[in-house]
Amino acid sequence: MTRPAPCVIFDLDDTLYLERDYVRSGFYAADRWCRTTLGLSGVRELAQEYFEAGRRGDIFDAVLEKLKVPRIDETIKELVRVYREHAPEIVLAPDAARCLSTLKGQIHLGLLTDGNSATQWGKIHALGIRDAFEEIVVTGDWGAEFFKPHLRGFRHLERRFGPPSTRFIYVADNPLKDFTGPYELGWKTVRVKRPAGLHSQRSCPPHLAPCELADLESLPEMLRSLT
């Protein structure tokens, strides 16, 4: 009897590259905009300081307040736009590059990532990985309500790579949202726990991601036991 065809779906942020590199790149872009448009310096340094301290969601608000700039909603909106739409200076993790090169053409490969549509596609193009995958799903193309753990992205990939006998494996990093959906659908899961990843300190229930790797170097070999 022929074994079902394996299909490996990858997450993007902190799975194929370090998300903190994108954040740093975005802060540089925001800093350049502030210097040029507002004549304001120190934005990048302060933003990075707040980020490293664990602040999320209102970093630009906090930066402008610290620099005693009147809080103008339009300024905040523009900074967020610049951050989200800048051309990021990021690179594929070397282990991820080797892994994708090894797997390409051997099994089905897909990508499923959350986030603002322009932001995520900008990352994909900057990393030069568009052609590494047979199918890419950016859930932001549909709207934030379809971010993981919503099942729409996973089911889309099941339809794309069917028949139902196909064995799916999702490789991701964030235990808060990445593994519930594929587990519910009967997929295998692998957690990438990069030491510098933003979610590396979070614990993950063993039943959601029973396999855990520090990087993707050994994934091709591991897949032999999973598929």
Q: What is the pLDDT of residues 130-177, one digit of tens each?
A: 999 999 999 999 999 999 999 999 999 999 998 766 799 999 999 999
Residues 91 and 108: their CA atoms lie apart, in Å, by 23
Instruction: Give 3's DSSP letter.
Output: P
Among residues 39, 26, 24, which one has the least CA distance to residue 79? 26
Tell me yes or no: is domain 6-18+90-226 CATH 3.30.1320.10. no
User: Where exactly are the structural domains of the chain?
Assistant: 6-18+90-226, 20-85
Residues 224 and 227: their CA atoms lie apart, in Å, by 5
pLDDT (tens digit per residue) in 57-112: 999 999 999 998 887 888 999 999 999 999 999 999 999 999 999 999 999 999 99
| 109 CB-contact burial (10 Å; exposed 0-12 / middle 13-18 / buried 19+) | buried
Among residues 17, 5, 45, 1, which one has the least CA distance to residue 223? 5
pLDDT (average), residues 110-118: 97
Angle at 116 between CA 44 and CA 148, to 5 degrees: 120
Q: What is the pTM of this model?
A: 0.93
Q: Tell me how far CA of residue 110 lies from CA of 15, 48, 95, 125, 136, in angstroms.
A: 13, 32, 17, 15, 6
With beta carbons less than 8 A apart as the criterion, state whether 219 and 171 touch: yes
Other C-beta atoms within 10 Å of 65: how many? Answer: 13
